[in-house]
Structures are given as C-alpha cells and as structure tokens.
Amino acid sequence: MSDQDSPPIVEIPEAALRDIFEHARAEFPNECCGYLIGSGSDLEVRRCKNRQDQLHALDPEAHPRTAANAYNIGGRELLDLVRSFEGERPATVIYHSHPRVGAYFSAEDERAALAAGYPVAYLVIDAQEGEIREALLFRRGADGGEAAYGVVARFPGAAI
C-alpha cells in the first residue's frame, strides 16, 4: 500500500469518542461496532448492529465466534459503509470494542482488515466491567514491522 493509499491520520473529537465509548458500554459484554464518516466538524459516528450472533446461530461451524469475541457489520449498514468511499464523506475509521481483554489489533482483526481492504484506520476500545480503559487507533503500515497494522494514537478511557 503506498502512502497515497493509506488512510489519513484521523483526529477524533472528544464528543465522538464519548459516543463510541457509550456504545461500547451499551453492548457490553458483547463487542460493539461502527464507523466514523467524514472528518473535522463534519465527523459523524455511525453505530452499527453486531450481526455476529446471528451468523453464529445460522452456521456455528462456519462462524464459531459469538458477539462476545467478534463483530460483523452487514446488510444495509455494510452497504452504506462501502458506498461512502465513492462519496464526498468517506468512512475514515471502523471501530469495535474488546470486552474484558484489552485494546489490541488481534490476528483476526488484521486478517479481516486486510481482506476487506478498506482505506480506513481501525479504533479498538478496551471495555471493562465498569469503565472504558482506553482506545487505540491502528493504521496499516504504521510501524513498519511485521504486523500490517500499528498504533498511531492512544485515547484515554472514561468511567462510563
């Protein structure tokens, strides 16, 4: 991926972070998911429904993970996300929470991000029992190491 194909470093305003953190708390102990569209004063949080439990119920062999440890954006929400890349307000960040296990870009997260190939950064929220500990923003090629995605920003959590 060349620098011009890399997603831009995104500034996430405090109000948007709070909305994302509240989404993570509302879905706890399951993973939440969604994306940010636009940028600057035009930035908007788009909360999505995590369809992972539906997929697991339909075919547990093909989808062994549940919403407790995986997320899936689908249907109209996925269509809107993909269509945003053709418009004036493209998605800039896809986010999801990691309940009880910390904010890190898992091997599964990396595999899915590489397969999708979206020009976005990824925000992972550390959701614990009574708080959001932190959130980390990952970007492809950020650390130049073996991992395809590296940390480009760290956001403090909140007692939500």
The HSE-up count of residue 22 (CA atoms within 13 Å, CB side) is 9
What pTM did the predictor assign?
0.89
Pair of tokens at residue 147? 């991992």
Contacts of 145 (CB under 8 A, 6+ apart): none
Angle at alpha carbon of residue 138, lines to 62 and 9, rounded to 5°: 135
Residue 96's DSSP bridge partners are 33, 124
User: For the chain, what are the domain ranges?
Assistant: 3-158
The one-digit pLDDT tens for each residue of the chain (160 residues) are 444 455 456 689 999 999 999 999 999 999 999 999 988 778 999 999 999 999 999 999 999 999 999 999 999 999 999 999 999 999 999 999 999 999 999 989 999 999 999 999 999 999 999 899 999 999 987 665 666 888 999 999 888 8
CATH homologous superfamily of 3-158 equals Cytidine Deaminase, domain 2 (3.40.140.10)
